[in-house]
Structure 1
Amino acid sequence: MRVGVAGHIHLTPGSVRPIADALRAELHRLSDRPVHGVTCLADGTDQIFARVVLATGGTYEVILPAADYRDTITAARRAEFDELLARASTVIHTGHQHSGTAAYLAANQELLSRVQCLVAVWDGSPGCHAAATDRTVDAARQRGIPTTVLWPAQARRA
């Protein structure tokens, strides 16, 4: 099963474990076998998802929004990004050179074209740009992609 992820980037440290637990439970609910994830590997939700997919025996592919995407990751988080990127089974580039809403929107559209279902870690609040989590959830639902929204009680945005 090919499972995509969307979700918040800025999460509190105390949110990581409850979100990982919720993702793990959802992946087990979706399939009794390891899944193949599809992620943009953004900080926060996407990286938690990648780690959970690996921990449950699955694989994942990464959609890179832009050639300079790595530069948008804080220096303190780049080693983790690099490690997770190196563990991807496939890396797809959108063709955009510069990160921004257009590149992120293209990456989300590419992600949705590759998945059978979407898991969103989302608090339900509206986003501030066309590539925000709420818009990705709406686009998935409009395409008829089964979508599960998770927001554990202990999860908080930073």
Structure 2
Amino acid sequence: MIALVGHPDLTAPTLAMLEEELRRRLADFARAGRAGLVRAGRGLPLVFGRAARAAGLPLVTVLPARKGLPTVLKEADLKAAGELLVLSEQVRLLEYDPADRGACVGADESVLRACERLLAVWDGSPSNGRDATAHLVAYARSSGIAVDVFWPTGARRMAAEEAS
């Protein structure tokens, strides 16, 4: 399986550019019989799901659960999660609280443990209170997962006040 991590504050033009870039990258994995794995959410996870579908890569989406039942996502993630479910061939439930940043990072680590490769859309900046991309790249590397880091020319992140 192939997973994707990246900054949660990418601009809309950057997300549009990444969808095409990811489609090209994922086509090779689709030909090799791999599948993509993503934790449900807006922004980059949805772009990954769309690109996977366009590339012919089977998609598995992870939803948060409590006591074995799906739980409610943040309001901003609901529409994207619905689209990801439509794009997916399989859905997995994972026990975590989507409102708890630490639980989300733990869920991402769990997703990575099920993967052999990680695609990371990362500008090289350190992790902070909102963005765990650097941590997840380091986690994958220390776990022996192959990591492909890329930051396309022209990619941009939102200013802090825009990302809130």
Assess same fold via TM > 0.5.
Answer: yes
RMSD between aligned alpha carbons? 2.3
Secondary structure at 1:120's aligned position in 2?
strand
Q: Does 1:7 align with 2:9?
A: no
Higher RCO, 1 vs 2 (CA within 8 Å, ≥6 residues apart): 1
Residue by residue, what CA displacement relative to the aligned partner does 1:5-45 show, whole Å, maximum 9, x if unpaired?
11112221111232122212322355634641011122221
Gapped runs of 5+ residues in structure 1? none
Residue by residue, what CA displacement relative to the aligned partner does 1:99-137 show, whole Å, maximum 9, x if unpaired?
212321221122112111000111111111497111110
Q: What does 1:1-158 correspond to in 2, within 5 Å? A: 2-30=1-29, 32-33=31-32, 35-65=34-64, 68=71, 70=73, 72-74=74-76, 78-129=78-129, 132-158=132-158
Number of positions where the alignment pairs a residue of Structure 1 with one of Structure 2: 154
- Contact 2:26–2:57 (8 Å) recurs in 1: no
Distance in 2 between residues matched to 1:30 and 1:90, nearest whole Å: 17
Question: TM-score, structure 1 length as denominator?
Answer: 0.84
Question: TM-score, structure 2 length as denominator?
Answer: 0.81
Gapped runs of 5+ residues in structure 2? 159-164
> Residue type of the partner of 2:138?
D
